[in-house]
Amino acid sequence: MKGLVKYALGMEGVALRELQEPVPQDGELKVKVLAAGICNSDVHAIHDQRSVTMPIVLGHEFVGQVVETCGDVNGFQVGDWVTALPACYSCGECWLCKQGLVTLCNERKSIGSHRDGAMANYVVVPAKYAFKIPDSAVTLEEKSVYALTEPLACMVRAAYEKVDVKPDDTVVVSGPGIMGQYAVQLFKSRGAYVIVSGLPADKDKLELALSLGADDYATSFDELQQKVYTRSPKGADITCDCVGVIPSLETCMKVIRQLGTHVQVGLFGGKVPFRLDAIFDREVNYIPSNSSSYTSWGITMDLLREKKVTMTPFASVRLPLDEWDKGLEMVLNKAAYKVLLMPDNTF
Ligand SMILES: [Zn+2]
Ligand SMILES: [Zn+2]
């Protein structure tokens, strides 16, 4: 089979390679990959900003069909369509793993970082951390959208598990990328009033957010401030930074109310110059939300089954696996919400 392998430092250390097909061990599923999303963390791995065990097949956001099982696999069968929680090879024994917080395990092991990932014809995952996609996805195109489940589960952790949202709360979502668009839908599903903040260049994305349920948007700080305080004179109850750049966090700290809750989803990726007292001044609850837990996935699959959230608009680009470098460039240029690599044309 073919797989996109990171095997050495530098851009030259990434290539499509001919590999042995993985063999499932006890409790594992062998999955034929239909689509694998390119995540920023794959980009960081390629550029050595994040260390991975080399050599390794990249990719942790995927959907595919079970072609082989081994041992007890919780009722999964050949032919099932599945996606999976990436940190599925964490220790499983510690106090965090026992609560499903596998991402926080000291021995965290994820596909695409420590074990071979999904940018290949086949990937192997433990059945314990696999999830069937809803039967309502019939065509291959509909099924491929489920490669976007993992980022949604991360946003579900933020919006459903890390913050308490009261109906009618005013929520500011900063950044209308895929995570922001998910945030809009999730906070709306919890009954909040949602204002999305972006740049003038984000107009199309902000319009999309409106069509997905956002109540309002702003393309400048003044406009945001005016809209937040008109709606909620105390300031925003919740702010959610989906970007991970200082101006975005600063904006959030200027429109949040005293004792409000800020949830940080965007990763800053290094040291940042930020006046921490901005958090202190208003006694803001600063809550980081890192990846997803096992329980986030249950909520995510329920929301998808109930069609309370859509992922379809963000599966905008599909490329054959061979064109991974083109996909990478599109991700770097933010030219798509999500690029899906399609390893196999034999489905
Ligand atoms: Zn990801
Ligand atoms: Zn553990």
Helix locations, 13-163, DSSP H: 40-46, 95-98, 140-144, 149-156
Find, among 117, 218, 95, 229, the residue nearest to 170 by Cα: 229
Ligand nearest to the CA of 90: 2
Whether CATH 3.30.420.40 fits 2-132+316-342:
no
Distance 296 CA to ligand 2 centre (A): 17
DSSP-based three-state secondary structure for 282: coil
- Domain(s) labelled CATH 3.40.50.720 in the chain stretch across 154-288
Q: Say which residues have a Cβ less than 8 Å from residue 280's Cβ, sequence separation at least 6.
A: none
pLDDT in tens, 97-126: 999 999 999 999 999 999 999 999 999 999
pLDDT in tens, 10-50: 889 999 999 999 999 999 999 999 999 999 889 989 988 88
Ligand nearest to the CA of 149: 1
Alpha-carbon gap, residue 176 to 172, rounded angstroms: 11
Find, among 161, 38, 245, 227, the residue nearest to 219 by Cα: 227
Distance 154 CA to ligand 1 centre (A): 8
Distance 238 CA to ligand 1 centre (A): 24
CATH class for the domain made up of 154-288: alpha beta
What's the pLDDT score for residue 49?
86
Distance 88 CA to ligand 2 centre (A): 10
Distance 324 CA to ligand 1 centre (A): 16
pLDDT in tens, 249-275: 999 999 999 999 999 999 888 889 999
- Domain(s) labelled CATH 3.90.180.10 in the chain stretch across 2-132+316-342
Distance 289 CA to ligand 1 centre (A): 13
Distance 104 CA to ligand 2 centre (A): 7
Rg of the chain taking only CA atoms, in angstroms: 20
| Backbone dihedral angles phi then psi of residue 148, each to the nearest 5 degrees | -95, 10
Distance 30 CA to ligand 1 centre (A): 21
